[in-house]
């Protein structure tokens, strides 16, 4: 670990030096403040402490804020079918997508708190968008319950006990609205599950998904780099990813 950190520190300061050069700040002597000012000296203060500490860091984020254990398992299984492990790398389960969705549901997104939720509620045209009164966390409660019910009816088994093919079959029926639900749209729920999966696979690891940046590594996405001035006019370049955590220097 310390070895890695050192290497990373080295890479970081190189990037920073390169940035200063390419931005014309160091050369032109322009007084440019902003986030730049705070970015540049940050590193030196913290790196020393990091090297000293050899304690293993536990990830205390791997716990649930909203789902029941049963819901969590179902989300793990369903998202793994949407984004399965393969030769490219880990699937949704290993990336922590279910934790991501759980944590998102406990905040603004789960409560639709920055969306217009005032009555009256009318059914609209498709092009007018979502017009329901139910919020995302309730949609997940209902959707997961119905996913379970549908699995029990069709296969006499819990969703998580179905084979991969059977799980795909159930999810397809949801995606194609072959399941008739009264309170929510089956395909609407599936779409939310799918977009949550991609968000969990590829958002900054800060949000509990994309574990160890494995989602980014699979597709050679460099994550949160400060600058691309060195590669922008070059042929395809693989750059090891960095995350927002790296910008805080620990």
- Of 47-106, binders to another protein (CB under 8 A) are 81-84, 86, 88, 91
> What is the C-alpha separation between 38 and 194, in angstroms, rounded?
38
- Closest to another protein by CB, 71 vs 91, is 91
Contact region for another protein (CB under 8 A) — 3-11, 66-74, 178-186, 225-233? Answer: 225-233
- Closest to another protein by CB, 48 vs 232, is 232
- Of 1-20, binders to another protein (CB under 8 A) are 19
Per-residue x/- mask for another protein, residues 185 to 224, rule CB under 8 A? ---------x--xxx--xxx-xx-------xx-xxxxxxx
Q: Kindly state the tokens that stand for 3.
A: 């070895």
Give 120's DSSP letter: P
Q: Kindly state the tokens that stand for 34.
A: 């902003």
If you count them, how many residues does the chain have?
Answer: 250
> What is the C-alpha separation between 151 and 148, in angstroms, rounded?
5
- Of 126-185, binders to another protein (CB under 8 A) are 126-131, 168, 171, 175
Residues in binding contact with another protein, number by CB under 8 A: 77
Which of 5, 11, 13, 22 contacts another protein by CB under 8 A? 22
Residue 56 neighbours by CB under 8 Å, 6+ apart: none
| Backbone angles phi and psi of 226, in degrees to 5 | -75, -35
């Amino acid at each position: 670990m310390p070895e890695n950190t050192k290497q990373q520190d080295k890479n970081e300061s190189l990037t920073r030096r390169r940035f200063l050069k390419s931005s014309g700040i160091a050369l032109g002597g322009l007084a440019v403040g902003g986030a730049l000012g705070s970015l540049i000296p940050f590193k030196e203060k913290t790196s020393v402490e990091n090297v000293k500490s050899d304690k293993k860091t536990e990830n205390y984020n791997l716990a649930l804020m909203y789902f029941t254990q049963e819901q969590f398992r179902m989300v793990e299984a369903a998202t793994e079918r949407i984004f399965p492990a393969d030769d490219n790398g880990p699937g949704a389960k290993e990336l922590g997508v279910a934790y991501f969705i759980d944590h998102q549901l406990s905040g603004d997104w789960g409560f639709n708190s920055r969306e217009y939720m005032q009555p009256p509620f009318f059914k609209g045209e498709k092009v007018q968008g979502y017009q329901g009164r139910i919020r995302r966390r309730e949609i997940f409660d209902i959707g997961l319950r119905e996913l379970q019910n549908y699995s029990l009816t069709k296969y006499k088994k819990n969703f998580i006990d179905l084979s991969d093919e059977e799980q795909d079959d159930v999810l397809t029926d949801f995606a194609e609205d072959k399941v008739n639900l009264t309170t929510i749209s089956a395909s609407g729920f599936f779409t939310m599950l799918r977009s949550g999966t991609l968000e969990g696979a590829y958002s900054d690891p800060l949000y509990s998904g994309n574990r160890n940046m494995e989602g980014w590594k699979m597709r050679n996405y460099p994550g949160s780099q400060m600058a691309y001035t060195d590669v922008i006019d070059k042929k395809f370049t693989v750059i090891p990813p960095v995350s927002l955590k790296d910008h805080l220097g620990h």
